Amino acid sequence: MTAEVTDPVVRRLIDAINAGDRDAFFAVLTPDATMSDDGRDRDLTEWVDREIFTVNGHMDVESVTDGGRSLIANYRNDTWGAMRTRWQFTVDGERISRFDTGQAG
């Protein structure tokens, strides 16, 4: 069962990931959005194409904290299979300006 994501901006991003909708994903981000994976800043466009949109990425949220802006999720894609991941989102108004992800312990 997927936990309820209470932040509507984060929910829109997750919905875009799970729908494979790259345009909707980028519409939720600020123009200067940044991200990190396992503590290392990455090129956002390159990363999301490689880890989400060209490999059928899908996120099932396991738990939610921090008002819906911190998640533990079972994430899977065609490259890596399934893994337990953590996600932290910085929301700026109606958009996300940064997200940090990586494997969860």
Domains and CATH numbers, the chain: 8-103 (3.10.450.50)
Rg (CA), the chain: 12
Enter the DSSP assignment of 51.
I
**Which parts of the chain register pLDDT below 50?**
1
- pTM to 2 decimal places: 0.94
Query: What integer pLDDT is reported at residue 2 of this predicted model?
Result: 57
Looking at residue 1, what is its pLDDT? 43
CA dihedral 24, 16, 96, 100 (to 10 degrees): -140
Determine the Cα–Cα distance for residues 31 and 86; give it in Å rounded to an integer. Answer: 23
